[in-house]
Amino acid sequence: MTRVVLMNPGPVNVDERVRAAIASPDECHREPETRELLARVRGKLATVAGGGDAHTAVLLTGSGTAALEATVSSVVPATGGLLVLDNGHYGERLHRIAQVHGIPVRRLEFGWANPVDLDAVERALTAEPWLSHVGLVHHETSTGMLNPAGDVGRLTARHGRSLILDAISSIGAEDLDVVADHVDWCVGTANKCLEGLPGISFVLGTRAGFDALAAIPARTFYLDLHAGYRAQVAGGAPQFTPALQVLRALDVALDLTLAETVTGRGERYRARAEQLRTGLTDRGVALLLPPPHRAASITNAWLGGDLTYDQLHDGLKQHGFVIYAVQDRVAGSFRLANMGQLTAADIDRFFTAFDAVTARPTVAAVGAGQ
């Protein structure tokens, strides 16, 4: 297999042991060995997020957005409402999901790449008692900004509300403790910083929290979190056919995560990110965010000069590197993710390719102007 280095924010390059796990024997999802697999994965997910015996997870077959939609549509009662803290593409998505389900929603827009204003959150919660839940994106993957989950969680708890945290691109690599940070609903996926394969996502919460969902009428059939919980946790078997091979891979990926530790993985990611950020800055490329707001796994950068995103992307792809656009395709900006099994040597090779690609259009532009 030729190695393609993925610098998009998931799916990621995985460890060979994770890849090997999908070649597991054929199996039926209603047999005891599969039940054990599901229970094992739920337990490991709770451990990764700092949860204890009170915590469990519901697994969904679907990408991260399936778990987000299951959460928003299942936990906010018709008599309550969701306060969305929006400072990027995924904040917008939380708002959109609530709207699609007709859930009362208030959106605090801070603007892309602007930090969350805790005073504004406090004012909104004080002024609008009907808001029962707060929705926050931990790592806003569109800009690479790490939002203060603990500060928002403590503020939310102080006001007697519940926090829904989109931890899809943070869990596994960023500090996150669902207990200390007061995260009531923690949403994640297999194929980002947990370094599994795409197809499985999950929602972590307390058993008491899942039990209490019985009082909220389902808004969807397939993504009904309480039904999923009753089947998986109380009944011990999944309600619907899960992506079993992807679950086997996630089981292995979680072992590797726990062995490396979340702190260790965060350090590894930050070392790679530093290498990228230093390399870009040395080449005169400006970065979007100031250092205090940067997550461990994304670097957003501006490309000066005539080079377009498509030229950069296509040029790097020929060298075996896949980079990513910023959602709104802001001209001259691009994203580099360093999630997954990236080595320091990969990043050295990336810069060799980057130099080759960025040198070419400049020469062409000079030629064209003469």
- Alpha helices by DSSP H, listed for 88-230, are 89-100, 118-127, 149-158, 207-212, 225-229
Least separation in angstroms between CB 169 and ligand PLP: 3
Least separation in angstroms between CB 339 and ligand PLP: 10
Among residues 222 and 351, whose Cβ is nearest to ligand PLP?
222
Among residues 75 and 137, whose Cβ is nearest to ligand PLP?
137
Residues 6+ apart with CB under 8 A from 201: 59, 60, 62, 63, 64, 65, 66, 67, 168, 187, 188, 189, 190
| Cα gap 172→305, rounded to integer Å | 37
| Edge-to-edge strand list for the sheet holding 333-337 | 286-287, 298-302, 333-337
Least separation in angstroms between CB 349 and ligand PLP: 26
> Which position has the token pair 């593409």?
89
Among residues 90 and 269, whose Cβ is nearest to ligand PLP?
90
Find the distance separating the first CA and the last CA of the chain, reported in whole Å: 44
| Nearest of 188, 221, 177, 199 to residue 42 by alpha carbon | 188
**For binding to ligand PLP (CB under 6 A), which residues are involved?**
9-10, 63-65, 90, 137, 141, 166, 168-169, 189
Least separation in angstroms between CB 214 and ligand PLP: 27
Task: Give yes or no for a contact between 90 and 141, defined as CB atoms under 8 angstroms apart.
Answer: yes
Among residues 165 and 252, whose Cβ is nearest to ligand PLP?
165
360 is in an annotated binding site: no
Among residues 203 and 307, whose Cβ is nearest to ligand PLP?
203
Among residues 34 and 71, whose Cβ is nearest to ligand PLP?
71
Least separation in angstroms between CB 32 and ligand PLP: 30
Q: DSSP state, 219? A: S
| Cα gap 86→108, rounded to integer Å | 6
> Which position has the token pair 């390719």?
353
Least separation in angstroms between CB 234 and ligand PLP: 27
Partners of residue 294 on adjacent β-strands: 145
**Residue stretches of the annotated binding site:** 335
**Residue stretches of the annotated binding site for substrate:** 335
